[in-house]
Amino acid sequence: MTAVQPSDREWLDEDAGPIVRPYALTGGLTRPSGQRFDLLDMVGVIRGPAEDTLHLAPEQAEVLERCQIPAPLVDLAAGMNLPVGVIRILVSDLRERGLVTIHRAQPAGVGDLKILQEVADGLRRI
C-alpha cells in the first residue's frame, strides 16, 4: 500500500476521492465561445443524431440528460455541483455542436424606479 504524501492530501477528498480541477473538465478552456449567456437563460436539448453524442465528456452528457426539459444555467451548475464558469463552457461547446439551444431570460424590468426603491428600503431595514 502506497502512503499518501503530505503534498498529495490537497488533491484528495476523503469522501469524494481524487479532486478534478475545473480546467480538466473544460479541456483547458477558460471562457465560453460565441454569444455570452446569463445565469437565468434556459438550456434545452435539440433533438439530433445519436452519433453526435458519442464523443462527449461525461459532464456534457449529463448536461444533455438534465436539459431534456429546459433548465436555467444556474440550476445546472447547482445540480451538477460545478462552478458556473465550467457549466458555461460545457454548454457553449454543446451549442457549437448543435446539441443545445439557449433561450434568453426576459429582463425583469430592473430600471423600474419602484423596484429599486423597494430594494433600497429593504437594505436599510437590515
Are 40 and 74 in contact, with CB atoms under 8 Å apart? yes
Average model confidence (pLDDT) across the chain = 75
DSSP-based three-state secondary structure for 61: helix
Average pLDDT over residues 56-73: 90
Alpha-carbon distance 63 to 77, whole Å? 9
Q: List the grid coordinates of 24.
A: 480538466
- Whole-number pLDDT of residue 53: 67
pLDDT, tens digit, 9 for 90 and up, residues 6-26: 555 554 556 555 555 555 555
Amino acid letter, 95: R
Are 65 and 57 in contact, with CB atoms under 8 Å apart? no
Average pLDDT over residues 75-94: 88
Reported as a pLDDT band with limits 50, 70 and 90, residue 67 is very high
